[in-house]
Structure 1
Amino acid sequence: MFVRLALLFAWMTSTCLAAGTSMSPAELAALIESHKAPLVLDVRSDEEFAQGHIPGAVLIPHDQLETRIGELGEPREVVVYCRSGRRSGLIQPVLEKNGFKVRQLEGSWQAWQAAKLPEELPEKEPAPEKSPAASSAKP
């Protein structure tokens, strides 16, 4: 019961923080497709990002944002997301304090996946190729 209340509170907090400053996954996908997307900021962990993310998203984990905010460049519009909205809601004041116009992705990553919108995976290192000489060498 306590866990459910905590989750409800986290969801309500992130929803209240994002009130009036959100963007739907479909709207963001259309902007990405038209090459008119704002900066898309993923504030999840490196591991979560590696499992899939919004195409073109920039990763700065929420607990590193204050020290790495300079990596975002000049203040501009930014759409921020995490897994469920809690972490992105927590960092919104940091972004706004630094001049960014923040919009929360409605439903965050979970809504993006539920809508079956495109996901990007980091490129994997290619496996080293075996040379013909090495494969034909006999022990």
Structure 2
Amino acid sequence: MKEMTPQEVQAYLESNPEASVIDVRETAEVRAGKIPQAVNIPLGLVEFRIQDFDKSKEHILVCRSGKRSGMAGRFLEARGYRIINMAGGMLEWDGPTV
């Protein structure tokens, strides 16, 4: 699975504002702040919301530290999705949040 640091993701999003960002943290965690364009789909719901992922796009997956997003990424990659895991997660994100 492809990985990017939070700094690489931030630079990527600046030049690709329509990029797909999926935050797999729990809803309560996301309330503390998320990447502005991120859509929250908690890890436990990824398999049930797989239809929400567009196979023609590359998706950046985000969580607190990179572990849950890695799990979601492996699940999605095994089903033919193109995934980038944000290594270090929101713990290392210093970009804007909402």
TM-score bracket for this pair, using the shorter chain length? 0.7 to 0.9
- Superposition RMSD in Å: 1.6
Corresponding residue of 1:63: 44
Structure 1, gaps ≥5 residues long:
1-17, 121-139
The answer as to 2:98 corresponding to 1:117 is: no
Compared with structure 1, are the counterparts of its residues 62 and 41 closer, same or farther at alpha carbon in structure 2 (3 Å cutoff)? Answer: same
Aligned pair in 2 of structure 1 residues 87, 30: CA closer, same or farther (>3 Å)?
Answer: same
More strand by share: 2
1:30-87 CA-partner distances (Å, limit 9, x unpaired): 2222235531110000111111001100110000100111112334211111111221
* Equivalent-residue separation in structure 2 for 1:84 and 1:118 (angstroms): 17
- In structure 2, stretches of 5+ residues that fail to align are none
Q: How do residues 1-139 of structure 1 correspond to structure 2 at under 5 angstroms?
A: 21-36=2-17, 38-112=19-93, 116-120=94-98
User: Which is greater in Rg?
Assistant: 1
Task: Report the 3-state secondary structure (helix = DSSP H, G, I; strand = E; otherwise coil) of the residue aligned with 2:50.
Answer: helix
| % identity of equivalent residues | 36
The aligned amino acid for 2:9 is L
